[in-house]
Copies of this chain bind each other. A is one copy, B any other.
Amino acid sequence: MISLLYKSSYVFVLFYYAVIPLGYLTKWWVTVEKMKGNSTILVTGGSGYVGSHTIVELLKNNYTVIVLDNLVNSYSDGGCKPEALKRVEEITGETVTFYDVDITDRAALDKVFKNHKIDAVMHFAALKAVGESVRIPLKYYQNNVGGSAILLEVMACNGVKNMVFSSSATVYGDPQFLPITESHPTGQGCTNPYGKSKYFVEEIMKDVCTADPDWKVILLRYFNPVGAHESGLIGEDPSGIPNNLMPYIAQVAVGRRDKLQVFGSDYPTPDGTGVRDYIHITDLAIGHLKALERMFSPNFKSWKAYNLGTGHGYSVLDMVKAFSEVADRPINYEMVGRREGDIASCYADASLAKQELNWVATRDIKDMCRDTWNWQKKNPKGFKSS
């Protein structure tokens, strides 16, 4: 009898200290392997700047990638794929499946989900020009907010409830403190429809997670993505006059534009020009991969927001100087008045992403300028150059 008890306590110890942990470990391992080897990721807006760079990292890590894009901001020669995706395939030696579909087209969207066994969605598709959003707000709300709601509904209908969302530091509005942590209030003082549309979608996704515990959502709040893939094959390709600093500097350097206008030289910053947290696009792309891994881990539940930034602020003149050094030529610029809605300084506290995603930005301002310049030189007119 005693020996029986003795034996059963052995069984208990074995079960408690070996079988249970082994079970957990197996579950974890299976999840990670499943994710790494066989997962299929639907990338909306995949032929855009952030989308295309993220796809490169996904393909390098053996994910299967399905791309949706309505091509309103992408160059295509009329062939079966936009130029950016052809370049992605050239870089990686892998192929992606492409659908010319708008996220507001429920039926077409549903068909894509029926055609493929999708494990998660990375949602980049959105209109993104701040100035334009002030002029035609309804387009922004319909595409960015309405489109996201339709996407979420089609996902739920098809049992796909994993989402990495391309959000923006613009949801923080005018910073109440610096560096900005994820607990900074959002939605207050968002001054333009673009920023509000990102905030609205974040709120909708949070509510969806509250309503249905099966949902897992990671909101990635980008600071200022710049640079290009080191190959120089893909990069930022704004149509028309660039809204952002880096492509503008690059176009001045390559002779496509006369000079840079620096909006505001009287901000309360070290040199008077606006300070931003520039982050290399490849670092940002890797951040998405890490977010995906976090989302697939068994202990992740509901939603979480992460800042993706370097944590360092650089001024407009810092960037001009760094670019000028890398490109080995002067960058023509003039100081003009402040631009309405612009803020003085904005940079991230990126420690949460380091802690929970095991991610840090490793590329510095020199890398950002070098890769932008490499892309710009090889493609003076963007993807149209090909």
Residues of A that sit less than 8 Å from B by CB: 134-138, 141-142, 145-146, 149-150, 152-153, 156, 185, 187-188, 193, 196, 200, 203-204, 207-208, 210-211
Contacts and interface: CB of A to CB of B under 8 A. Distances in A.
Q: Among the interface residues A134, A152, A204, which one has the most CB atoms of the partner chain B within 10 A?
A: A204
9 shortest interchain CB distances as A-B pairs:
A137-B207, A146-B146, A193-B207, A141-B149, A138-B153, A142-B149, A141-B204, A137-B211, A200-B200
8 contacts: A136-B211, A137-B204, A138-B149, A142-B149, A145-B200, A146-B149, A146-B150, A188-B188
A106 to B, nearest CB: 10
Contact of A145 (B137, B146, B188, B208): B146
A173 to B, nearest CB: 11
A145 B138 contact: no
Nearest to A155: B138
A135 B211 CA distance: 5
Contacts of A146: 142, 145-146, 149-150
Contacts of A137: 204, 207-208, 210-211
Given A145-B145, A145-B149, A146-B146, A210 B134 contact: yes
A152 B137 CA distance: 11
Please tell me how many copies of the chain the complex holds: 2
Nearest to A153: B138
Contacts of A196: 203, 207
A11 to B, nearest CB: 45
A141 B202 CA distance: 12
Nearest to A140: B207
A142 B138 contact: no
Contacts of A150: 142, 146
Contacts of A185: 188
Contacts of A208: 137-138
Given A141-B149, A196-B207, 13 more contacts: A134-B210, A135-B211, A137-B211, A138-B153, A142-B149, A145-B146, A145-B149, A145-B200, A146-B150, A185-B188, A187-B187, A193-B204, A193-B207
Contact of A153 (B142, B152, B156, B187): B142
A153 B136 CA distance: 10
A257 to B, nearest CB: 27
Nearest to A145: B145
A142 B153 CA distance: 10
Contacts of A156: 138
Nearest to A135: B211
Contacts of A200: 145, 200
A218 B156 CA distance: 36
Contacts of A211: 134-137
Q: Among the interface residues A134, A150, A185, A207, which one has the most CB atoms of the partner chain B within 10 A?
A: A207
Nearest to A133: B207
A54 to B, nearest CB: 25
A327 to B, nearest CB: 38
Contacts of A138: 149, 152-153, 156, 204, 208
